[in-house]
Amino acid sequence: MKYVWSAAAAAALLCLGCESSDSKSPNEVSGKSSGLTTAHAESEAIEELQSKEIEPRTSSSETVYEEEEAIHMIFAGDVMFEWSLEDTVAQHGPDYPFEHVSESVQQADYAIANLETAVTDHAQPYEKIYNFQADADHLTGLVNAGFDFVSLANNHTMDYREAGLLDTVESLDEAGLDHAGAGADKSEAYAPHTVELHGKTIKILAFSEVLPSVDWYAGENKPGIASGYQRERVVQKIAAADDSADYVLVYMHWGNEGEHTPEEATRTYAESMVSAGADAVVGTHPHVLQGFEFFDDQPVAYSIGNFLFPDYVEGPTAETGLLHFKLQDGDVAMSFEPWHIDQDQVVDQGEAYQGKVMQFLADHSYGVSINGFDIHPKP
């Protein structure tokens, strides 16, 4: 380290010289003798000062800003545990479907999926074409894979009616999985889940714009789902969450099954959410991948597809991935890591497959630039 002379040090040395010339000792009888004594004293003072590391002064106007620690969050798509997955989990255990992807999921500070299965043994299904049901053992696989939270705002959480929903919530609580988007009443269903990560407050809201009936809406004293149909209310909930959070993330169940392009109304809806305070919006329900868009530099992923579905999925419905968000200094950076569903497992299909998926997403996005897995708004 270089030695830095301060004004105080110079003044101290100057004072030492003054004292040596004004206060003569008995031995200082001649100018020659006095000069030698003064020079010797000054030399000792210099050596003493130089032996100490004097830190440079920092101007009071200078402020050092430390970069805050990044928060790594992962979103995964639709998870359904019925049909072939019942036998697969019974034979191989609940960790088997995620054994290849769990290492990637566990890198996150917080990982989120959309649970499209009622976790209940309730026997009376709702009257519709598809009803999905599983036992609580399946949740162990999600937890062990590294997931922390599931959205319940979708068109399957109440497949086994209100009793099935309440069973699901109870099972999630027992498994240690956080949740939002449904509950015992309107207040619980529409409430954001709050999590503190690296000293920052993150609020996660979940809504569904795909519900079989108004009977599924959560009410004042009625279990149900947080409806996404009432867009003004959704925007108000986002704005309220933004008032007391560092980041607000929204998980939406919306769109049309099998379509790779969102409707214009969906894009407008996403923009209104960002304007209200959402820092990122993530969509599911189409069961296929859709592209990305940014509004005011805030990311929107219109559909991240299935994540774990039974072995009937193939082609586009088997294309999946992990959506990564890096939250830092008020910004949200986005990337997408392609995976594939094959025989009841989420598997890595290699670089050629990944490149193909990323090119597809680039072709179906709006005003974005994709470099590898990273997704940015075009300048």
Q: What's the CA angle centered on 315, arms 265 and 115, to 5 degrees?
A: 60
Amino acid at 158: M
Q: Where are the alpha helices (DSSP H) in the chain?
A: 7-22, 31-50, 84-92, 102-105, 137-145, 161-175, 186-190, 231-242, 264-276, 351-363
Q: What's the CA angle centered on 283, arms 356 and 120, to 5 degrees?
A: 110
**pLDDT tops 60 at residue 379:** yes
Q: What percent of the chain has pLDDT over 90?
A: 81
Q: What confidence tier does 225 reach under pLDDT thresholds 50, 70, 90?
A: very high
Amino acid at 119: V
- Give pLDDT tens digits for 171-207: 999 999 999 999 999 999 999 999 999 999 999 999 9
Q: What's the CA angle centered on 376, arms 373 and 379, to 5 degrees?
A: 145
d(CA 70, CA 317): 32
Tokens at residue 266, please? 């969906």
Give pLDDT, residue 67: 80
Give pLDDT, residue 54: 42
Model pTM greater than 0.85? no
Contact between residue 34 and residue 28 where contact means Cβ atoms under 8 Å apart: yes
d(CA 360, CA 80): 25
Q: What is the largest CA-CA distance in the chain?
A: 117
Give pLDDT, residue 66: 72
Contact between residue 233 and residue 186 where contact means Cβ atoms under 8 Å apart: no
Give pLDDT, residue 29: 32
Which residues, 6 or more positions from 245, have their beta carbon under 8 angstroms from its beta carbon? 192, 194, 201, 202, 203
d(CA 378, CA 371): 11
Provide the sign of the torsion angle of the four alpha carbons 217, 220, 223, 228, taken in this order: positive
* Chain centre distance of CA 310: 27
Contact between residue 257 and residue 281 where contact means Cβ atoms under 8 Å apart: no
Tokens at residue 234, please? 């959704």
DSSP 191: P
Beta-bridge mates of residue 219 = 222
The mean of the pLDDT values for the chain is 88
Give pLDDT, residue 2: 32
Contact between residue 377 and residue 369 where contact means Cβ atoms under 8 Å apart: yes
Q: What confidence tier does 25 reach under pLDDT thresholds 50, 70, 90?
A: very low
CB atoms closer than 10 angstroms to residue 196: 9
Closest CA to 191 of 180, 202, 207: 180
- Mean of pLDDT values over 92-100: 99
What are residue 183's phi and psi, to 5 degrees?
A: 180, -170
Amino acid at 76: A
- Give pLDDT tens digits for 231-284: 999 999 999 999 999 999 999 999 999 999 999 999 999 999 999 999 999 999
Contact between residue 341 and residue 308 where contact means Cβ atoms under 8 Å apart: yes
**pLDDT tops 70 at residue 373:** yes
- Give pLDDT tens digits for 54-93: 444 444 445 556 789 999 999 999 999 999 999 999 999 9
**pLDDT tops 70 at residue 101:** yes
Which residues, 6 or more positions from 230, have their beta carbon under 8 angstroms from its beta carbon? none
DSSP 52: S
Buried b (16+ CB within 10 A) or exposed e, 50-87: eeeeeeeeeeeeeeeeeeeeebbbbbbbbbbbbeebbe
Q: What residue ranges define each of the domains in the chain, with the CATH number in brackets?
A: 1-64 (no CATH), 71-377 (3.60.21.10)
With 0-12 / 13-18 / 19 or more C-beta atoms within 10 angstroms meaning exposed / middle / buried, residue 163 is: middle
Give pLDDT, residue 63: 58
Q: What is the DSSP string of 5-17?
A: --HHHHHHHHHHH
**DSSP3 helix / strand / coil % (the chain, rounded to 5):** 35, 30, 40
**pLDDT tops 70 at residue 318:** yes
DSSP 353: H
- Give pLDDT tens digits for 295-316: 999 999 999 999 999 989 999 9
